[in-house]
A = this chain, B = another copy of it.
Amino acid sequence: MLHELFTPSVQHALDLVGIFVFAISGALLAVRKNFDVFGIAVLAEVTALGGGLFRDLIIGAVPPAAFTDLGYFLMPLVATVLVFFLHPQVERTQTAVNVFDAAGLGLFCVAGTVKAYEYGLGLTSSAALGLATAVGGGVLRDVLANEVPSLLRWDRDLYAVPAIVGATMVVLCIRFEVLNDVTSGLAALTAFVLRLLAMRFHWRAPRAWNRRSSATEETEKATAW
């Protein structure tokens, strides 16, 4: 089967880096939520592998890479040990963590788009799945931690847009047959830099037009159906 053979070393290395940095972000949230060491490990695994797992289930690449590649599975455990013993130091380097998370975002949106396309999805679907690969783990992380997903909140700096731009660059490269290591690296870099800029300048996406700005989430709850 195709997915047994499909492990070009470049994408594999990129995946491992992305998995590690996402695992760190999951493990840190677990520490903040006061989870025990197994909770930390679970949240690290889910954050790191959730997006790719979703992608692989959608494209029919079963068993997913997360369960066939031991490195994918072990990387989050390394992140767990690191955060478990050194979390105050890791916390203090929050900026570094954010930078790594931005790198993971860039790498995953490119790798996810490429893999989806190689499994026969259309260009738009491949880009959508690239986005899902990049942000899916973080959404699962927040759902398991019983928080509103950071991705959806208006008071967080742009996160989806950089991934959308990166994934779109990849499908344009595919469309015009110029996808290679350089152009896909450029797409990942663009997403990475855009995310850094979004954090630096607190770029935010607009909320619904005509939104009563005085409305807060609390008053919303009273009227929610």
Question: Contacts A30-B152, A204-B36, A220-B34: A62 and B58 contacting too (C-beta < 8 A)?
Answer: yes
* Distance between A157 CB and nearest chain B CB, rounded to angstroms: 10
Give the CA-CA distance A209 to B119 in the complex, in Å. Answer: 43
Q: Tell me whether A87 is interfacial, beta carbon within 8 Å.
A: yes
A17 within 8 A of B: no
B contact residues around A86 at 8 Å (CB): 209
A161 on the interface (CB 8 Å rule)? yes
Scan residues 145-160 of chain A and give those whose CB is less than 8 A from a CB of chain B. Answer: 145-154, 156, 160
- Stretch of A123-131, A179-187, A189-197 at the chain-chain interface: A123-131
In the complex, which residue of chain B has the Cβ closest to the Cβ of A146? B148
Q: How many copies does the complex hold?
A: 3
A9 within 8 A of B: no
**A30 to B150 Cα, complex, angstroms:** 13
A 190-225 binary contact with B (CB < 8 Å = 1; else 0): 000000000000001111111100011100100111
B209–A39 CB distance below 8 A: no
CB proximity of A41 to chain B, nearest CB, Å: 9
Contact indicator A139/B128 (Cβ below 8 Å): no
Q: Is residue A85 within 8 Å, beta carbon to beta carbon, of the partner chain? A: yes
Q: Quick check: B153 and A39 within 8 Å, CB to CB?
A: yes
Which one of A39, A40, A160, A223 has the greatest number of beta carbons of chain B within 10 Å?
A39
Chain A interface, >50% SS class:
helix
Name the residue of chain B whose CB is nearest to the CB of A62. B60
Contact A215 B85, CB 8 Å, known A62-B60, A63-B59, A144-B149: no
The 5 closest A-B pairs by CB, nearest first: A39-B152, A60-B62, A36-B154, A36-B205, A67-B125
Having A32-B223, A43-B152, A60-B62, one finds 16 other A-B pairs with CB under 8 Å, namely: A35-B152, A36-B205, A36-B206, A38-B151, A39-B151, A58-B63, A59-B62, A67-B125, A68-B122, A70-B122, A70-B124, A84-B208, A87-B208, A87-B210, A88-B210, A145-B148
